[in-house]
A and B are shown apart, each in its own frame.
Chain A
């Protein structure tokens, strides 16, 4: 039975919603194990989500129409003072551009998430999240209650629901939108960073709290607020094995996994 409220949502074109229970999700590819699915949700323009994922889980992000931008924070879910550290992520791996095989490192020398799959290859570690100060003049509004919310204020709401606040907003990565650093240090925004159907699969190497907002990249030059829907889903999976090819790819990555195992040794 369709209620009046549901009919109103449909009439307003609201597509972004979670599938509950997640295991009843439709339209996912065969390599997603439905029986293990714990989360299925579409983030429309300006939408956000926060979720705790268990160690070994996979988080799949599909850029359905190719023009979404997911601004991502990540924390150790069990002790949230430990969080994603962008500088350590790029410095320890000697690489500013994230792609398949890259780790997202915490500020405690551990790996929070691994890029297990990445068909896009353009993600940004330099530019951070959009803010009220930038979205207001650019789009006419940047408020949470308006049509063009900014990522920082989305983060603040998401974190508040986990007992966290402004001090917990550290550096984020931007998925599906890239920048290039020129020889003199100047930044060039890559306008065609992603294509419809691009997929990133992140493997949780710890129990993680992920916070995601789908808002335009801060350097997106368009005056219109474009953030096309991104589908998120997650499923339970095995903890990374000792012979995992990403884990063993460099001595630095190997030690990041060793530090995770040391952390969970009780």
Chain B
């Protein structure tokens, strides 16, 4: 599902450390990897405005998983950015956002699914590929399943909440080359769906590849 790693000639901006893994995730594809404690995962929005749906699990006990609510309550803010601690349902820190050239990320809008697509866009969209399909495929390969699905992070996605509570997915703030760095505070399984949605602006109506760089500072 992934294309070969970029050429070593491709520059990696602002990265001071040893690169352990470097991979381009194709548009619409799943990706998962255990990021060991103190390693950093850089997610690069190669072409801009590409939502990257993401759920975290404790690498040794995946029943402990990312909690959007715990993360929001801890920082008393619904947006993720530099300094955000990504918390588990046990209230423990899994990863920290240590760098961010985009500025704002979502954890309220969830992941697209074939089923929710039918509500938002019509019954005719049921067979379009969706993030939940990617998550479930990754989970199945690891002996996990639907019960392990929880509210996710949407890197590079912009979901503002207006004064009256109205909420929508609007044009992202991201641009080609924007990135976010996540430092693992514990061994963390990162499961990603490079969002295939084509019915709203989260991917500028055109899903594109993203780059995953794992490095040790």
Contact = CB atoms under 8 A, between A and B. Distances in A.
Interface in A238-262: 252, 255-256, 258-259
Given A81-B147, A168-B147, A170-B150, A259 B119 contact: yes
Contacts of A219: 73, 76
A163 interface: no
B167 A96 contact: yes
B91 interface: yes
Interface stretch (A20-28, A56-64, A84-92, A195-203): A84-92
Contact of A171 (B69, B109, B145, B168): B69
A167 B147 contact: yes
A171 B150 contact: yes
A31 interface: no
Interface string B96-128: 000000001000111101111111101100000
A134 B119 contact: no
Contacts of B159: 91
Contacts of A88: 110, 113, 116, 119
Interface in A10-64: none
Interface string A58-72: 000000000000000
15 contacts: A81-B145, A88-B113, A88-B119, A91-B116, A95-B165, A96-B167, A126-B108, A166-B63, A170-B151, A181-B78, A185-B161, A186-B76, A252-B120, A255-B122, A259-B119
Interface in A157-195: 166-171, 181, 183-187
A87 B69 contact: no
Contacts of B132: 107
Contacts of B161: 96, 181, 185
B70 A128 contact: yes
B119 A252 contact: yes
A92 B110 CA distance: 10
A96 B162 CA distance: 9
A178 B167 CA distance: 16
Q: Chain A interface residue count: which class?
A: 35 or more
Nearest to A99: B165
A128 B89 CA distance: 10
Contacts of A258: 123
Contacts of A85: 110, 116, 151
Contacts, number: 135
B68 interface: yes
Contact of A86 (B91, B120, B148, B151): B151
Interface of A: 81, 85-88, 90-92, 94-97, 105, 107-110, 126-129, 131, 133-134, 152, 166-171, 181, 183-187, 218-219, 252, 255-256, 258-259
Contacts of B151: 85-87, 170-171
Contacts of A90: 108-109, 167
Given A87-B110, A169-B89, A255-B119, A187 B165 contact: no
Contacts of B149: 107, 170
Contacts of A81: 145-147
A184 B67 contact: no
A108 to B, nearest CB: 5
Given A96-B161, A152-B89, A259-B119, A128 B77 contact: no
A109 B113 contact: yes
Nearest to B109: A91
A181 to B, nearest CB: 4
Given A167-B63, A252-B119, 15 more contacts: A86-B110, A87-B68, A91-B109, A94-B167, A97-B164, A109-B114, A127-B73, A128-B67, A128-B69, A131-B70, A167-B148, A187-B73, A218-B73, A219-B76, A255-B119
B72 interface: yes
A100 to B, nearest CB: 14
A109 B119 contact: yes
B115 A185 contact: no
B111 to A, nearest CB: 7
Contacts of A94: 166-168
